[in-house]
Amino acid sequence: MAHPPEFDHLKDIFQAGLNRADPYQMVIDTVRLEGDQLHLRTDTGPLEVDLAQFDRIVILGWGKASARMAHALETILGDRISEGLVVTAYGHTASLNRVKLWQAGHPVPDENSLRAGEALKKHAIAAEERTLVINLISGGGSALVECLV
């Protein structure tokens, strides 16, 4: 059955919306590296970070989009990333090289949620004055990461 010509236009609009909401593409579109300068486009204006001021870059994240965001930062920063850990829901993975990927329960926390909370806490505590910690937070984090105090 043939569809009206507007159908293709609507499909293009729909696809553009999906592409715009992709966590990987959102990071690629808002973060760029020029030499030692990390440029970020934010809602409140541009932000620039001089990476030469840091000895280590650590990526920490949690949420269903954190793996895709970490993948984008690996694309941008490459081997400048010292280490990292992101926690995402089962099945929301991405291919990561420098950042460890953990999967945990969502919407109901599980044992991995507790382990992930402890692991993220250890990474955060280990950060020193000349460590740049980049946090990648997205929806679902309250189930994915639990930390008992």
- Confirm whether 149 is domain-assigned: no
DSSP state of 43: T
Residue 17 sits in which domain range? 6-144
Asked whether residue 62 carries a pLDDT value surpassing 90, the answer given is yes
- Confirm whether 40 is domain-assigned: yes
Of residues 49, 42, 138, the one with CA closest to residue 89: 138
Q: Where residue 30 sits, what CATH number does that domain have? A: 3.40.50.10180
- Confirm whether 45 is domain-assigned: yes
Asked whether residue 112 carries a pLDDT value surpassing 90, the answer given is yes
- Confirm whether 10 is domain-assigned: yes
Rounded to 5 degrees, what are φ and ψ at 148? -80, 140
> Which residues lie below 8 Å from residue 28, measured CB to CB, with a gap of 6+?
72, 75, 76
Q: Is the full-model pTM beyond 0.75?
A: yes
- Is the CB of residue 127 less than 8 Å from the CB of residue 53? no
- Confirm whether 91 is domain-assigned: yes
Domain count for the chain: 1
- Confirm whether 12 is domain-assigned: yes
- Confirm whether 1 is domain-assigned: no
Place of tokens 């930062």: 73
Of residues 47, 70, 45, the one with CA closest to residue 59: 70
Mean pLDDT taken over the chain: 92
Question: Mean pLDDT, to the nearest integer, of 57-66?
Answer: 97
| More confident site: 105 or 12 | 105
pLDDT level of residue 147 (50, 70, 90 thresholds): confident
